[in-house]
Chains A and B, each alone.
Chain A
Amino acid sequence: MSIDIILFLGLAVVAILSAAGMLFSRNAIYSALFLIINFSAIAVYYLILGAPFIALTQITVYAGAIMVLFIFVIMLLGAEQTGRTPASWWMRPLGMGLGALLILESLYLIFTHLHSFPQPIEIIDGFGNPGQVGEILFDKYVLPFEIISLLLLVAMIGAIVLTKKKMKR
């Protein structure tokens, strides 16, 4: 077994256990903390797949900023303790049915296409590092990049307008 396979399996255990922990925690704050572990494990997956810039973004944006927002929203709503809300009778059978359908479909696709999956392309050295991302982003994709700043501006103004209105009541 190569070191990559061992890393992959170890991370899979971490990712799945933290995801399960997130789902089964009664306290929403603990769920959020489990999600941070999950995000970190996914970030290392990106590293293994040869996408260091995405791994870095996963840590700074998802495990960092998004989780800060999640935790603030949980505390804002006072939803730390999720009470036992009675589930409707159709929820459990529907969830089981959809889950079974997904698994069956995935298994069918995997076994019918077992030998026709495209071979992974050999990635060139330094592929996906911040330098290469920068070279393409600031050359070929200048316009989308500049539009991102507008998107961020809209989000900023939107957040301020919404929360300011609440303050004035």
Chain B
Amino acid sequence: MSEYLPIVVLLILSAFVAGAAIALGHLFGPHHPTERKSLPYESGMTPFGPGARRMPVRFYLIAVLFILFDIETVFFLPWAVVFRKLGLFGLIEMLIFVMVLVVGFLYAWEKGALEWE
């Protein structure tokens, strides 16, 4: 387990930096809340209704595409580690894998799934 010590150190360090940023802001920033100041800002109008609106389905498509390419990346890692050992065979394997996904990428591009409109 000791080989993961750097990750633990990094986690503690990042938690410390994030915590320090918030704590220092609290400590030195002016803090005079009134009821009006704590209202959510809605371009000067009195806010009404729930703050969260339903999101368009676009976001769902973006999330799904993100997952799929994320999983593709996960498979790149074990490949990259043993890349030299696998030689040409490994390269061809990965090329086939990537080519199939490039088809999907081109399809998404062609269908305008990557555009926001």
Instruction: Write the residues of chain A forming the contact surface with B, with a CB cutoff of 8 angstroms.
Output: 3-4, 7, 47-48, 53, 56-57, 60-61, 64-66, 68-69, 72-73, 75-78, 80-81, 129-131, 133-135, 137-139, 142, 145-146, 148-150, 152-153, 155-157, 159-160, 163-164, 166-167
- Residues on B with C-beta less than 8 A from A80 are 52
Is B66 located at the chain interface by the 8 A CB criterion? yes
- Residues on A with C-beta less than 8 A from B107 are 156-157, 160
B64 and A142 within 8 A (CB)? no
Q: B-side binding surface: helix, strand, loop or mixed?
A: helix
A60 and B70 within 8 A (CB)? yes
Q: A-side binding surface: helix, strand, loop or mixed?
A: helix
Is B68 located at the chain interface by the 8 A CB criterion? yes
In the complex with contacts A68-B63, A69-B63, A145-B97, A138-B86 CB distance below 8 A: yes
Closest to A150 in B: B100
Closest to A139 in B: B86
A152 and B104 within 8 A (CB)? yes
Instruction: Write the residues of chain B forming the contact surface with A, with a CB cutoff of 8 angstroms.
Output: 1, 4, 50, 52-68, 70-75, 77-82, 85-86, 89-90, 93-94, 96-98, 100-101, 103-105, 107-108, 111, 113, 117
A137 to B52, CA, bound (A): 45
Closest Cβ–Cβ distance, residue B82 to chain A (whole Å): 4
Closest to A154 in B: B104
A4 and B67 within 8 A (CB)? no
- Residues on B with C-beta less than 8 A from A56 are 74, 77
